[in-house]
Amino acid sequence: MLYLFSYSDLNHSLLVFLALFFVLFYEAINGFHDTANAVSTLIYTRAMSANISVIMSGIFNFLGVLLGGLTVAYAIVHLLPNDLLLNATSKHALAMVFSILLAAILWNLSTWYFCLPASSSHSLIGAIIGIGLTNAIITNSSLVDALNIPKMTSVFLSLIFSPIIGLIVAGSLIFLLRYYLNNNKIFYRIHMTPLEREKIDGKKTPPFLIRTALVLSSIGVSYAHGANDGQKGIGLIMLVLIGIMPSSFLVNLNANKYEINNTKDTLNNLEKYYLKNTINTSNTKKNKNIINNSTLNYQFYDAIKNIRNAKLLLKNISNYNVLNIKERFQLRHLLLYISDLIDKRINSSDIDTKDKYFLTKSKKIILQTIEYAPMWIILIVALSLSIGTMIGWKRIVVTIGEKIGKKRMTYAQAMSAQITASFSIGIASYTGIPVSTTHILSSSVAGTMLIDGDGIQIKTIKNIALAWMLTLPISILLSSFLYWITLFII
> Per-residue confidence at 310, pLDDT binned at 50, 70, 90?
very high
Euclidean distance between CA atoms 400 and 398, whole angstroms:
6
For residues 311 and 31, which has the higher predicted lDDT (pLDDT)?
Answer: 311
Work out the pLDDT band at 403, boundaries 50, 70, 90.
low
122-131, 156-165, 304-313: the lowest-pLDDT one: 156-165
The dihedrals phi and psi of 240, each to the nearest 5 degrees, come to -60, -50
The predicted-structure confidence for 47-81, as pLDDT tens digits, reads as follows 888 889 888 988 998 999 998 888 878 877 777 76
- Residue 90, pLDDT above cutoff 80: no
Lowest-confidence pick of 44-48, 105-109, 195-199, 241-245: 241-245
- Count other C-beta atoms under 10 Å from residue 459's C-beta: 9
Amino acid, res. 475: S
Sorting pLDDT into bands at 50, 70 and 90, what band is 146? low
- Provide the pLDDT confidence category of residue 364 given band limits of 50, 70 and 90: very high
**Residue bearing the bigger pLDDT, 28 or 279:** 28
Residue 65 CA neighbour count, 13 Å, CB half = 32
Instruction: Tabulate helix, strand, coil % of the chain (nearest 5).
Output: 80, 0, 20
> What is the reported pLDDT for 84?
65
Q: Which of 149-163, 207-221, 467-481 has the lowest mean pLDDT?
A: 149-163
Confidence bin at 151 (pLDDT 50/70/90)? low
Judge whether residue 288 has pLDDT over 50.
no
> To the nearest whole percent, how much of the chain has pLDDT over 90?
18
Query: Which DSSP helix (H) or strand (E) runs through 302?
Result: helix 290-314
Predicted local confidence at residue 360, as pLDDT: 92
* pLDDT tens, residue by residue, 99-123: 888 898 888 888 877 777 677 777 8
Find the radius of gyration of the CA atoms of the chain: 25
Inform me whether the pLDDT recorded for 177 exceeds 70. yes
The per-residue pLDDT for 401 is 66
Give how far Cα 295 sits from Cα of 67, 282, 299, 447, Å: 41, 12, 6, 46
Q: What is the pLDDT of residue 33?
A: 73
Please tell me the predicted confidence (pLDDT) of residue 484: 86
Judge contact between 244 and 94, C-beta under 8 A. Answer: yes
Asked whether the beta carbons of 181 and 452 are under 8 A apart, the reply is no
User: Across residues 372-401, what is the average pLDDT?
Assistant: 83
Mean of pLDDT values over 138-151: 68
- Which of residues 353 and 157 earns the better pLDDT score? 353
pLDDT one-digit tens code per residue, 473-483 = 898 899 999 98
Supply the pLDDT for residue 289: 47
Mean pLDDT of 403-414: 76
Average pLDDT over residues 248-259: 91
Q: Look up the pTM and report it.
A: 0.78
Task: Give me the mean pLDDT over the 411-439 stretch.
Answer: 80
pLDDT band at 457 (very low <50, low <70, confident <90, very high): confident
Q: What is the pLDDT of residue 240?
A: 79
Q: Above 70 in pLDDT, residue 298?
A: yes
Mean pLDDT of 157-173: 83
Q: Tell me the pLDDT of the chain averaged across its residues.
A: 81
Task: State the amino acid at position 455 in one-letter form.
Answer: G
pLDDT of residue 143: 66
pLDDT score at 191? 81
Residue of higher predicted confidence among 410 and 267: 267
Q: Measure the CA angle with vertex 306, ends 305 and 312; round to 5°.
A: 95
Flag whether pLDDT at 400 surpasses 80. no
Cα separation, 35 vs 28, in Å, equals 11
Helices marked H in 245-256: 246-249
Question: Longest C-alpha distance within the chain, in Å?
Answer: 81
Residue of higher predicted confidence among 272 and 124: 272
Checking if the pLDDT of 291 tops 60, the result is: no
Instruction: Give the 3-state secondary structure of residue 483.
Output: helix
